[in-house]
Amino acid sequence: MNNIAVLDKSTVDKIAAGEVIERPASVVKELVENAIDAGANAVTVEIKEGGISFIRITDNGEGIPADQVPLAFLRHATSKIKKVEDLLSVASLGFRGEALSSIAAVCQVELITKTAGSITGCRYIIEGGQEKSQEEIGAPEGTTFLVRNLFFNTPARKKFLKSPMTEAGYISDIMERMALSHPEVSFKFINNNQTRLHTSGNTNLKDIIYGIYGRDIAGNLIEIKDFGSGGPVELKGFIGKPVISRGNRNYENYFINGRYIKSKIISKAIEDAYKTFMMQHKYPFTALHFTIDGSYLDVNVHPTKMELRFANNEEMYRFVYEAVKAGLTHRELIPQVTVGK
């Protein structure tokens, strides 16, 4: 038998990276979330070759102080929580401190960042978890990550990537969700030098829906206005009239505290509310924003944070069901009959 030995840092980081970074879209998701957490109101994402060879993300957020840059790339290094109790009130999208170390472990990363308080910016290069250089550089306020050659040092994982077109499609999906979940941020997505998405950041959710899904969808929406206002769960956004239902769940979007998530409970409640309005195996369009009290949630269920737990599933189901049902039975759905014409 071989001797037992603790794995070295680079091996540990590569293994850990596997949980967070699966494909180029994971890199985009993590870095855009960081930009939002940094208070940016403009985020530009440029990709080439489906993000496999090139991803550049520029934000106008608060930047990282030069002396903290190497720290940011350590595993479990975060400025967002200090102790486990903070998880109850965490308002940021990130908090596990795993993204930068994971990305740096399997890519070639160049970071340029500058805070408002410093005169010069900082340029930092790290490849495969190995720090290459750090220097002062002139830079605008904010942060730019240039991420090249995903999985360059883990060829076995690179083989599992799909074609650049498919990978670009995953990134496009992420960008659309980011735009829908943060109408207050202006997003620009450029694929192979072509602008694919550009939102204004004017907070108008309907404009964003129009930009992504077109007039057919945007013209057939029912607004849910501040349902449950004042309680632990509040809901607002749009649901589609039954005429714009789809054959799959791809148009069911909902966000909790600004985070795109998947939830069987919420989907079931939405679909049950639509049941009498729609044919079987049809799914509605939704773009719903939940604001939920932190004490009512556990977000730390999965590394990608796509799933979470509610304090009370039945209450949550009821709440969503009633909100959607109320929207659907609203008067504007009933055909207006004009008498005596």
SS3 148: strand
- Residues 104-143: x where in contact with ligand ADP by CB under 6 A, - otherwise, as a string: ---------------------------------------x
List 29, 56, 96, 177, residue binding ligand ADP (CB under 6 A): 96
- Shorter beta-carbon distance to ligand ADP: residue 51 or 284: 51
Nearest to 265, CA basis, from 223, 324, 206: 324
List 97, 228, 237, 240, residue binding ligand ADP (CB under 6 A): 97
Q: Among the candidate windows 29-37, 175-183, 231-239, 302-310, which touches ligand ADP by CB under 6 A?
A: 29-37
Torsion of CA 211, 217, 222, 225, to 10 degrees: -20
- Shorter beta-carbon distance to ligand ADP: residue 28 or 217: 28
Task: Kindly state whether residue 60 participates in binding ligand ADP, applying the rule CB under 6 A.
Answer: no
How far apart, in whole angstroms, are the C-alpha atoms of residue 270 and residue 277? 12
- Identity of residue 70: P
List 51, 94, 121, 128, residue binding ligand ADP (CB under 6 A): 94
Q: Quick one: what does residue 217 bind among Mg ion, ligand ADP, none, with the CB cut-off 5 to 8 Å set by partner type?
A: none
List 17, 27, 35, 287, residue binding ligand ADP (CB under 6 A): 35
- Token pair belonging to 232: 């632990």
Task: Kindly state whether residue 328 participates in binding Mg ion, applying the rule CB under 5 A.
Answer: no
List 55, 64, 212, 235, residue binding ligand ADP (CB under 6 A): 64
How far apart, in whole angstroms, are the C-alpha atoms of residue 207 and residue 200? 9
In this structure, the strands spanning 194-198 and 186-191 are: antiparallel
Residues in contact with 171: Cβ distance below 8 Å, sequence separation at least 6, in sequence order: 24, 25, 28, 45, 47, 50, 51, 189, 191
- Identity of residue 21: I
Binding site for ligand ADP (CB under 6 A): 30, 34-35, 38, 59, 61-64, 72, 77-80, 94-100, 143
